[in-house]
């Protein structure tokens, strides 16, 4: 009987650690982050009109966009599914200087839940987005970018903690 109770206690402790441990690695959000209330997260195969550019959440495609670096724009609805899984989406103007694009590629390669892609029509040259959170940046070297990733990749704001950012569509570079 004691062995069963200890086994149950050990299992419960492990479950708590798996749920809580990622939050210990989070950093504080950087200055300038805009927060948005995201109420809906239904799956749809239809195009979705989003209030933010790029979107920070909402209804989305049932298939997520695999995290990593992309040289071409990706579909909003698939990336929003990735955001729901705790991804940070770093978008950049297609005319961003090559050295900055390479810096973003390097940033993506060191993370499991970071997606980088060009995005025409951004309000600033670089925009970092997570579920319900966004930061506008003038360049890829702004130290707040890495702070944003540290605060929101698999962060407490995401609706599906621990969910993967792979097994969907897209072949990151």
Divide the 173 residues of the chain into consecutive groups of 10 and give the mean pLDDT of each group. 48 38 66 90 94 96 98 98 97 98 96 98 98 98 97 94 95 94
- Rounded to an integer, what distance in angstroms lies between the CA atom of residue 138 and that of residue 109? 22
Kind and range of the H or E run holding 113: none
Find residue 136's DSSP bridge partners: 127
- Rounded to an integer, what distance in angstroms lies between the CA atom of residue 153 and that of residue 114? 7
Token pair of 153 as six digits: 């990749």
What residues does each domain of the chain span? Answer: 2-152
pLDDT for 4? 53
pTM of the model: 0.85
Pairing of strands 133-137, 126-130: antiparallel
- Rounded to an integer, what distance in angstroms lies between the CA atom of residue 92 and that of residue 84? 20
In the block, residue with structure tokens 């670089």:
126
pLDDT for 8? 41
Contacts 24+ apart (CB under 8 A), 2-11: none
pLDDT for 39? 73
In the block, residue with structure tokens 């989305």:
60
């Amino acid at each position: 009987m004691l062995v069963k109770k200890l086994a149950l206690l050990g299992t419960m402790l492990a479950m708590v650690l798996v749920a809580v441990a990622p939050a210990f690695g989070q950093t504080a959000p950087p200055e300038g982050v805009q927060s948005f209330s995201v109420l809906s997260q239904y799956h749809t195969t239809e195009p979705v009109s989003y209030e933010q550019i790029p979107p920070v959440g909402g209804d989305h495609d049932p298939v997520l966009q695999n995290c990593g670096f992309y040289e071409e724009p990706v579909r909003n609805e698939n990336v929003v599914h990735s955001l729901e899984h705790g991804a940070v989406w770093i978008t950049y103007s297609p005319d961003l200087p090559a050295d900055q694009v390479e810096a973003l590629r390097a940033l993506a390669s060191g993370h499991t839940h970071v997606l980088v892609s060009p995005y025409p029509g951004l309000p600033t040259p670089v925009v970092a987005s997570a579920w319900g959170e966004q930061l506008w940046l003038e360049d890829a070297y702004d130290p707040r970018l890495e702070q944003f990733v540290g605060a929101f990749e698999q962060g407490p704001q995401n609706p599906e903690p621990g969910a993967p950012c792979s097994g969907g569509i897209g072949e990151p570079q």
